[in-house]
Amino acid sequence: MQEKGTISIHTENIFPIIKKFLYSDNEIFLRELVSNAVDATQKIKRLSSLGQYNGELGELQVEVAFDEAAKTITISDNGLGMTADEIKKYINQIAFSGATEFMEKFKEAKDANEIIGRFGLGFYSAFMVADKVEINTLSYQEGAEPARWTCDGSTEFEISEGSRTTRGTDIILYVNKDSEEFVDKQKLQGILDKYAKFLPVPIKFGERTDSVPDGEDEEGKPKYMQVVSDNIINETTPIWTKSPSELKDEDYLQFYKELYPFSEDPLFWIHLNVDYPFNLTGVLYFPKVKNDFDFQRNKIKLFSRQVFITDEVKDIVPEFLMLLHGVIDSPDIPLNVSRSFLQADSNVKKINTYITKKVADKLSEIFKADRKAYEEKWSDIGLFVKYGYVSDEKFAEKAKDFVLLTNTVKENYTLTEYKEKVEAVQTDKDGQLVYIYTNEPEKQDSFIQSATKKGYDVLVMNSPIDNHFVGHLEQKLEKTSLKRVDADVADKLIKKDDAPATVLTDEQVTQVKAVFEKAITKPGFKVELESLNPEELPVTVTMDEFMRRMKEMAQMGGGMGFYGNMPDSYKVVVNGNHKLINRILETGDEAAQSQLAKQAFDLALLSQGLLTGAELTEFVNRSVSLI
């Protein structure tokens, strides 16, 4: 049997194109060939179970080997093999029906994945690294003759008699000069670890030597012996292929350790398992995260029938869950198409929705079953939940029942609970609820204390997402606004009718205001006299909530450029009812008045960490002279 022919591609020569355009990703040739080999073993198993093959199945296995001297890499399987006719059918008349279509499309393709899968070119990816490829195969069919196919990367191929005596296929790559790096143990091991670690059939790659205990020597010391065995690089039944009922917590934790050897134990996990309307299995872990937003991304691995595809799961996993870890395996995700196509794919959308729902259900379940455990995890999961709450409507709908608000004394409340807690005290004269929060409890301590003294509760909002979270709460909660604790003096944070009456006459107000305006020369500070509780500080420096938020948005590039360009402006609230004001009025001496005003102002700045440099020195000197 000897035959020559032309591979039916209607273009001159496709291989230079494959090589040129797919260069960056060329390691995937191994993924493609090993997957084909695995498929071949799965097919024979199936034929056997259907009674269409009655021979011995044997131990199904795939082997990857290399020969440094000959510069070859061989992928062998004991799958179903091919007859010469099948080679002609499956290999020569390349699976992609329209080579013309390919020629048009490859121009837009950005990476090898896109071309290879889309056009059924898996086998041909071999030519990314090889000058010549040989197939040596024997079909399972009774009376089949072994066949050999060779092709040197032109459109010419040759079929002759093969040499295999047992069922299966060897694919031999004669590696080209530019790709010799692949004929290397470390390199191949690395690629196999990446793509083939969880394939369903054992993949052998060379041998391994282990030291195993072998009794004791004459002196009673333990003896070891060297045992050589096949080096099987994969785990054929990773946990996501099993049923949750077969698994214990330890199994999930151990698998996590295997995937992320240097990470702390995860908080909890979700086992995904659906087969309708799409097929998806997987395990998602909630890692311990605090503030490292980007650092933890791209930790979810995407598989298709246990073949690793990518760790870029954007679009498949909702944005706010990108911080999760774990694996997703779905044959229904179109893995080899461009991003824009992926976004529009209806399966991808359904998968996205499903994952969101599963995560919300899990959180709700833990919350209901064990509130205490949930609260303990809140500092880690709060970030996800809030992120989801602000970015995903469907999730927010469920999360409204288990998103927690934490106050300065570390109590946690659900949204409903919190409303009930503060409603009586923190409703203003117009019936608007006012939630008070701090983003820097240390720095805003004096404000927090003043607010607490008035019976107000102060929430802590100091995670990176809280800026958005605060905005969203205001949108979602009825008749509720949020104010940062330093947005105003405590008496004015929540406008009530019972403001203390002023003890000063109009004339005195003008007089005191003039003293302060003269004493405070710092730009951007505007003096205002207010009648506050005599217990409150004589002077408080505040920044308006609205103004501050606009500036913060401008800083984050939120399009509030106008506010961003405005200088910082603060309000200097002078408490007209404080006894210091009496002293100022009683002192006729202008210098003494100015000194008192300055001192009170500096104290206000000091309590907010706004007093620095020369101003701080001046304050210290003045204080010394006063004592």
Q: Which stretch binds ligand ATP (CB under 6 A): 88-96, 293-301, 429-437, 571-579?
A: 88-96
CB 74 within 8 A of CB 173: yes
Closest to ligand ATP by CB, 122 or 382: 122
196 binds ligand ATP (CB under 6 A): no
CB 251 within 8 A of CB 240: no
DSSP state of 500: P
Closest to ligand ATP by CB, 80 or 487: 80
Shortest separation between residue 123's beta carbon and ligand ATP, angstroms: 3
Residue of 91, 390, 404, 473 interacting with ligand ATP (CB under 6 A) = 91
Residue of 79, 153, 202, 538 interacting with ligand ATP (CB under 6 A) = 79
Closest to ligand ATP by CB, 165 or 245: 165
Comparing every residue's Cβ against ligand ATP, the nearest one is 122
Closest to ligand ATP by CB, 133 or 359: 133
Bond before 202 cis per omega within 30 degrees: no
Triad 487, 410, 550: Cα angle to 5°: 25
Closest to ligand ATP by CB, 21 or 123: 123
Structure tokens at 106: 């490859």
Shortest separation between residue 189's beta carbon and ligand ATP, angstroms: 21
122 binds ligand ATP (CB under 6 A): yes
Shortest separation between residue 95's beta carbon and ligand ATP, angstroms: 5
Shortest separation between residue 113's beta carbon and ligand ATP, angstroms: 10
Closest to ligand ATP by CB, 95 or 225: 95
Host H or E run for residue 603: helix 590-607
Triad 371, 354, 28: Cα angle to 5°: 120
CB burial readout 320-340, b (16+ within 10 A) else e? bbbbbbbbbbbebbebbbbee
Amino acid at 374: Y
Amino acid at 177: K
Alpha carbon distance 71, 537 (integer Å):
83
Q: Is 58 helix (H, G, I), strand (E, B) or coil?
A: coil
Q: Which stretch binds ligand ATP (CB under 6 A): 74-82, 395-403, 522-530, 558-566?
A: 74-82
Shortest separation between residue 334's beta carbon and ligand ATP, angstroms: 12
- SS3 annotation, 71-96: CEEEEEECCCCCCHHHHHHHHHCCCC
Closest to ligand ATP by CB, 28 or 390: 28
Q: Which residues face 310 on adjacent strands?
A: 302
169 binds ligand ATP (CB under 6 A): yes
Phi, then psi, of 331 in degrees rounded to 5: -75, -10
Q: Which stretch binds ligand ATP (CB under 6 A): 118-126, 427-435, 580-588, 598-606?
A: 118-126
Shortest separation between residue 559's beta carbon and ligand ATP, angstroms: 46
Torsion, CA 359, CA 360, CA 361, CA 366, rounded to 10 = 90
Closest to ligand ATP by CB, 113 or 352: 113
The gap from C-alpha 146 to its chain's centroid, in whole angstroms, comes to 50
Q: What is the DSSP string of 185-243?
A: HHHHHHHHHHHSTT-SS-EEEEEEEEEEEEEE-TTS-EEEEEEEEEEE---SS-GGGS-
Contact letters (x/-) for ligand ATP, 92-111, by CB under 6 A?
---x----------------
Q: Which stretch binds ligand ATP (CB under 6 A): 79-87, 141-149, 401-409, 491-499?
A: 79-87
77 binds ligand ATP (CB under 6 A): yes
Q: Which stretch binds ligand ATP (CB under 6 A): 115-123, 178-186, 215-223, 264-272?
A: 115-123
Closest to ligand ATP by CB, 95 or 227: 95
Amino acid at 305: R
Outline where 140-234 has alpha helix (H).
Answer: 185-195
Count of all residues that appear for the chain in the document: 627
The gap from C-alpha 374 to its chain's centroid, in whole angstroms, comes to 21
Phi, then psi, of 83 in degrees rounded to 5: -90, 170
Residue of 29, 44, 117, 348 interacting with ligand ATP (CB under 6 A) = 117
Closest to ligand ATP by CB, 117 or 287: 117
CB burial readout 436-463, b (16+ within 10 A) else e? bbbbbbeebebbbbbbbebebbbbbbeb
Phi, then psi, of 354 in degrees rounded to 5: -60, -45
CB 534 within 8 A of CB 578: yes
Outline where 196-276 has alpha helix (H).
Answer: 249-259
Which residues contact residue 393 at a Cβ distance below 8 angstroms, ignoring those fewer than 6 apart?
A: none
Contact letters (x/-) for ligand ATP, 217-246, by CB under 6 A?
------------------------------
Residue of 21, 22, 34, 36 interacting with ligand ATP (CB under 6 A) = 36
123 binds ligand ATP (CB under 6 A): yes
Task: Map tokens 């009170």 to a residue.
Answer: 600
321 binds ligand ATP (CB under 6 A): no
Residue of 7, 9, 18, 37 interacting with ligand ATP (CB under 6 A) = 37
40 binds ligand ATP (CB under 6 A): yes
Shortest separation between residue 185's beta carbon and ligand ATP, angstroms: 23
Applying CB under 6 A, the site for ligand ATP has a residue count of 18
CB burial readout 199-231, b (16+ within 10 A) else e? bbbbbbbeeeeeeeeeeeeeeeeeeeeeeeeee
DSSP state of 427: B
Structure tokens at 225: 């012996």
Q: Which stretch binds ligand ATP (CB under 6 A): 114-122, 205-213, 283-291, 475-483?
A: 114-122
Shortest separation between residue 87's beta carbon and ligand ATP, angstroms: 8
For residue 76, count other CB atoms closer than 10 A to its CB.
20
Helix axis angle, 579-586 relative to 590-607, nearest 10°? Answer: 160
Q: Which stretch binds ligand ATP (CB under 6 A): 18-26, 31-39, 184-192, 409-417?
A: 31-39
Closest to ligand ATP by CB, 334 or 558: 334
Contact letters (x/-) for ligand ATP, 128-167, by CB under 6 A?
----------------------------------------
Residue of 27, 32, 114, 488 interacting with ligand ATP (CB under 6 A) = 32
Shortest separation between residue 103's beta carbon and ligand ATP, angstroms: 17
Residue of 44, 82, 485, 520 interacting with ligand ATP (CB under 6 A) = 82
Shortest separation between residue 90's beta carbon and ligand ATP, angstroms: 4
Tell me which residue of 449, 453, 444, 472 sits closest to 610, measured CA to CA: 444
Shortest separation between residue 82's beta carbon and ligand ATP, angstroms: 5
Binding site for ligand ATP (CB under 6 A): 32, 36-37, 40, 77, 79-80, 82, 90-91, 95, 116-117, 120-123, 169
